Structure 1
Amino acid sequence: MRPFAIGTLSEQTGVKIPTIRFYESIGLLPAPERTQTNRRTYDESTVRRLRFIRNARELGFEVEAIRSLLDLADNPGKPREEVDAAARDHLADIDDRIARLTRLRSEVQVLADPRPSGQAGGERLLQALSDHDLSHHETC
């Protein structure tokens, strides 16, 4: 397949052009090839990488966690111990996110259930979201 422009990359991945440029500037995406007129060009490998980044961000992964995962993918020859440790760290993060989302789902379900008579919706919302600590104590 022929190289394509940044607009096509944006269309194929659903990622806005300024975001693509940002990911390039912080090294999540490699510097693109340039035409003689200095226009960026991309290929299918960039599409796959950018879709991975977009999906990871939608799942709540921070940039540094994504960088770490991409590093593992880019360096298949890394020592097995490093790969295993990184995988365990990411698995623990995923498990933590699932637990927090499960707690949040339970609280929202309480709000969606019919209210007992006499209890205002606002009061119930305040009670439901203040009774449980849904926060993550580390930086997400």
Structure 2
Amino acid sequence: MNSEAVPADRERDAAFADALDEGARVLMRLSGRLRALHVGEQAADRAAAPPGPAPVDIRRAQPLGERQMAVLDLSGLGAELGLAASEVAQALEYTPSNATNILKRLEELNYLVRVRDERPVRWRRATPADG
């Protein structure tokens, strides 16, 4: 096996996984919009129905990918200063752009928060105090 092919294969597979993640996000937004079209029709039924269980944050209910889990496993995200995308990229052998996209997505899902007033941008694990 060519030793140069392994990193290229890994990078290609990672890019493909990122594209699939983005496709899943698009489908989730589309399904939400389709459901919203029928809210008026079902409003009367819901008003008459007994209250159900507390709503689940759909963003947190989505399973995380292998690359997202690898990022969350980095101990530096637990520090007050957190990690920059370049540090995540170096630690996990990702490209800086892929690391940045993963960090942004984990922020959207409320797993990470940006560290205030830091340049370059840094992320750390979200805590209950972050709301």
Instruction: Tell me the TM-score range normalised by the shorter chain.
Output: 0.3 to 0.5
Q: Which has the higher strand share?
A: 2
More RCO (CA 8 Å, sep 6+): 2
> Larger C-alpha radius of gyration, 1 or 2?
1
